[in-house]
Structure 1
Amino acid sequence: MKRKDALRAALGARSLDRETPPAELPAGNPAEAPAPDPATEAPRPLVRSGAVGAMGRSLGRIASAAAEARAMVASGDRVVELETALVEGSFVKDRLSVDPEEHAAFVALIRERGQQVPILVRPHPTEAGRYQVAYGHRRLRAAIELGRPVRAVVKTLTDEDLVVAQGQENSARADLSYIERALFAIALEDRGFERATVMAALAVEKTQLSRLLGIGRAVPPDIVAAIGPAPKAGRPRWTALVEALAREEAGEVVGRVLATPDFSELSSDDRFARLFSALTAPAPRSAPVPAAWTTLGGRPVVRIDRGRQGTQLTVDDSLEPDFAAYLIQSLPQLYAAFAESKTRDETD
């Protein structure tokens, strides 16, 4: 069998692993490889109840993993097995949290099918015999939980190479939420990476990067931590949240919402929605307090009610029976005096 035919056969069958191509990659780079036997291929696990959503999300992201595997094999990279104790994560964090249900489904598939796409690591820059992940953190966590070695491609990478590979892998899979991308950009900038490197890592233009950095720095870290990744909230909603946080009463609202007993039990998107709704809800209008005009003797003869539609004067006839009639008769003179004073003010 020709080499390209062997690769096509090895990668042709679909897998449910969101970060894996269809079939197991060869350990090295042999000239030929046998095609998988359909009779011995592991059956697809039956998905039920709450796992459906997690599996659905995984199915939507497998195409780029297949392309990644093909690229690795085509470039002649050798896949090795490493003890997970020798491998540590990237020096830049790119995720706020991992959905427990989706992670459990992912681990179950690794247990059933094995790790079919290798992770990318580099030799640790300061510790001999150890490695550092460029991408594949979820596969590494699954291998640790399952007590298995992790399959990896080892490459010599600079810091710039590593963060670009890490960022572009996430960008290609649309795997990070908007706020996670913003925090990743901030972490890279704070570590002194040039803007060109950050743009390459996130596959964004200068204007897009400026927006990411601006929004990410405008949201207080404690609020980001409380909300989480909020995968459904894109730039417009985070921009609106930043504007709402600038309001005078925002601090009090945030404290009240975050302190509600069930807030932490909500999904990340629901936490975002609850806080945003509370911050943008119109303030309740208190009923105007009626005022009173009193005589020199202290009697509240006239009650004054100011409202959105106008001002109402109510004369207490029991205190001053004839004053209402006198006030009505005097309206022409009062208005003339008012108009004269207004004209005088305009000419002064």
Structure 2
Amino acid sequence: MARKDLFKGTLEAMLSPEQGIARPPQGKGILHNSALGAVEAGLAHNQNRTQVVDLDPSEIEDSEHADRLPYDDADLTGLVESIRAHGQQIPILVYRKNSGGYRVIYGRRRLAALRKIGGKVRALISHTMGDDDRIIAQGIENAVRKDLSFIEKALFAHRLRQSGVKDATIRAALNIDVNVEKATQISTMKMVVNEIGEEIILAIGAAPDVGRTRWRAAAKLFQERFTAADRPRVAAQVLAFREKQDAIQFTVVNHPDQDFDQSNRSDARFEHFLASLRASNDVQKPELAGGDAQEISVGDQIIGITKASRATVTLTVRAKDDPSFHRWVSENVDRLLRQAHDEWAASPENETLTE
């Protein structure tokens, strides 16, 4: 069964533009004994507690768990034109915040398009969905409509994990690595985001035609040739390329792909990023690449020697340089290493390197 068909029952339960109310899902649960099945059952049980209303866009906040990367105006052009011509055919799903107003569960592109057009937003208001249910519903909706790209899914999973969402909920929301022993896809997503970093990913964009294999290759190249400290510089280079793109009007005449449109620019940015990585041997960090030893001195006195590679970092304190310091370090090395680890754990840099 195709992946999109798996979610048909639940989305039919949540989206009923003809009747304006939720209908119970048809057929068996999406994934029995899973969080997805709980969402489906909950929607069926509470069908009369979901209503369709017209809301002012200013009343609706974006989801706290962004699943799509920021898009250019060109990415919304087709949707804006469609809504102008035919109206909003499918409601968005929102819930009422305790502090007042609403927050979108899914339908962020439709909401953005309607903000550009003006007027009211047709919305389903859910009164019963819990936090996990909302996250899963957000993932389900993307599975049956415009699929998220690989990197959008990876960044969505990363942000959910940082927010404390359980791995099982993330996997169910994205419909990946469900009921398998090894979560290989989630593992790859985690590696890609950890290595490349959110700053560079946001500069590149959704890259809808770039899949897991090429993102993984880019992450491995970045791991080999750069460190986290290089991310702002690399992101700035991607953004500079993006500015050049903005100055170019792509047409069928100057692009060989007949299906090319402005929304494909993020794919071109990824290609630029990958090509830059492949050509970056000359900027590889010597201490990381070759593991060259470096002396650490206080004044004219050598106090230690470090050697770093991608696999290990070695610190050597020699008795011949300073016997007293050598003895003190040997007696306190456990405490010093724990202190260094605590300092690292509390540093801002750690936020981009760990989850």
Which TM-score band (shorter chain)? 0.5 to 0.7
Larger Rg: 1
In structure 2, relative to structure 1, the CA distance for the partners of 1:207 and 1:26 (3 Å cut) is: same
Query: Does the residue aligned with 2:224 lie in a helix, a strand or coil?
Result: coil
1:203 aligns with 2:182: no
1:115-168 Cα deviation digits (max 9, x unpaired): 1111111111x313x211111112212222222111111112211111111112
Query: Does the residue aligned with 1:209 lie in a helix, a strand or coil?
Result: helix
In structure 2, relative to structure 1, the CA distance for the partners of 1:135 and 1:278 (3 Å cut) is: same
- Percent sequence identity over aligned pairs: 35
More helix by share: 2
1:257 and 1:275 in contact (8 A); partners too: no
1:257 and 1:278 in contact (8 A); partners too: no
2:94 and 2:104 in contact (8 A); partners too: yes
**1:188 aligns to what?**
160
**1:132 aligns to what?**
103
Letter in 2 for 1:264: E
1:145 aligns with 2:116: yes
Cα distance in 2 for partners of 1:256, 1:192 equals 27
1:24 and 1:115 in contact (8 A); partners too: no
Q: How high is the TM-score relative to the length of structure 2?
A: 0.55
Q: CA deviation at 1:173?
A: 3.0
Q: CA deviation at 1:281?
A: 3.6
In structure 2, relative to structure 1, the CA distance for the partners of 1:116 and 1:256 (3 Å cut) is: closer
2:80 and 2:113 in contact (8 A); partners too: yes
Cα distance in 2 for partners of 1:137, 1:217 equals 26
1:265 aligns with 2:231: no
Cα distance in 2 for partners of 1:236, 1:178 equals 10
Cα distance in 1 for partners of 2:94, 2:238 equals 41
Query: Does the residue aligned with 1:246 lie in a helix, a strand or coil?
Result: helix
**2:30 aligns to what?**
none
User: Which of 213, 216, 225 matches 2:190?
Assistant: 213
Cα distance in 2 for partners of 1:79, 1:247 equals 52
Cα distance in 2 for partners of 1:256, 1:171 equals 29
1:74-105 Cα deviation digits (max 9, x unpaired): x5653221222221111111121224224122
**1:84 aligns to what?**
57
Q: Name structure 2 gaps, 5 residues minimum.
A: 1-14, 23-42, 178-182, 246-264, 283-355
2:51 and 2:126 in contact (8 A); partners too: no
In structure 2, relative to structure 1, the CA distance for the partners of 1:255 and 1:103 (3 Å cut) is: closer
1:25 and 1:116 in contact (8 A); partners too: no
**2:18 aligns to what?**
25
1:25 and 1:117 in contact (8 A); partners too: no
**2:66 aligns to what?**
93
Cα distance in 2 for partners of 1:197, 1:259 equals 33
Query: Does the residue aligned with 2:148 lie in a helix, a strand or coil?
Result: coil
Q: CA deviation at 1:24?
A: 6.2
In structure 2, relative to structure 1, the CA distance for the partners of 1:134 and 1:194 (3 Å cut) is: same
1:234-291 Cα deviation digits (max 9, x unpaired): 1111111111112346859x7498179544333211111122112224858xxxxxxx
Query: Does the residue aligned with 1:225 lie in a helix, a strand or coil?
Result: helix
**1:340 aligns to what?**
none
After superposition, residues 58-73 of structure 1 pair within 5 angstroms as none
Q: How high is the TM-score relative to the length of structure 1?
A: 0.56
Cα distance in 2 for partners of 1:237, 1:259 equals 17
Cα distance in 2 for partners of 1:153, 1:256 equals 38
In structure 2, relative to structure 1, the CA distance for the partners of 1:259 and 1:86 (3 Å cut) is: closer
Q: Name structure 1 gaps, 5 residues minimum.
A: 1-20, 30-70, 285-348
Q: CA deviation at 1:27?
A: 4.5
Query: Does the residue aligned with 1:279 lie in a helix, a strand or coil?
Result: helix
Letter in 1 for 2:160: L
Cα distance in 1 for partners of 2:168, 2:235 equals 41
**1:292 aligns to what?**
none
Cα distance in 1 for partners of 2:108, 2:239 equals 33
> Aligned residue pairs: how many?
221
After superposition, residues 256-295 of structure 1 pair within 5 angstroms as 258=237, 262-266=241-245, 267-281=265-279
Letter in 2 for 1:25: E
Single out whichever of 155-164 and 137-146 deviates more from structure 2: 137-146
In structure 2, relative to structure 1, the CA distance for the partners of 1:278 and 1:117 (3 Å cut) is: same
1:39-93 Cα deviation digits (max 9, x unpaired): xxxxxxxxxxxxxxxxxxxxxxxxxxxxxxxx99xx5653221222221111111
In structure 2, relative to structure 1, the CA distance for the partners of 1:136 and 1:247 (3 Å cut) is: same
